[in-house]
Amino acid sequence: MDRDKEKQEISLIGRLFSLEALLILMGIFCLVSGVTTGEATQVFWGVMIIGGAVVLHFVRKKDWKKHWEEQERLKALCEMREREKKEREHRDAENL
C-alpha cells in the first residue's frame, strides 16, 4: 500500500514539474509582465507560449501508435488500388 501511495506522490510531483507546466508558467509570467509593463511583445509571446503548451498537451495525449497503424493501413489500401488500376489498364491495352 505504501508503494502505491509513493508512486502516486511521485507522479503528482512529476506532473507539477513537467515540461507542460513549466511552459504554462512561463507563458503566464510573460503575459502578466507584458500587461503590467504595457509591452505588446511580451503579451504576444505569453499568448504564443500558452497556446503552444496547450497544443503540446493535445499532441502528447494522442495515441500515436494507433495513428501510424491507421496511416500504414491507408497506404497499403492506396497501393492496392493503384496496382488494380494498372492491371486494368494493362488488360484494356491488351484487349485493343
Tens-digit pLDDT profile for the chain (96 aa)?
Answer: 456 655 555 576 666 667 788 889 999 999 999 999 999 999 999 999 999 988 888 887 777 788 888 999 999 999 999 999 999 888 888 876
Contact 52, 26 (CB under 8 A): no
| Beta strand ranges found along 3-94 (DSSP E) | none
pTM exceeds cut of 0.85: no
Q: Give, rounded to a whole angstrom, the gap between the first and last alpha carbons of the chain.
A: 78
Backbone angles phi and psi of 72, in degrees to 5? -65, -40
- CB-CB neighbours of 27 under 10 Å: 20
User: In the chain, what is the greatest distance between 2 CA atoms, to the nearest angstrom?
Assistant: 80
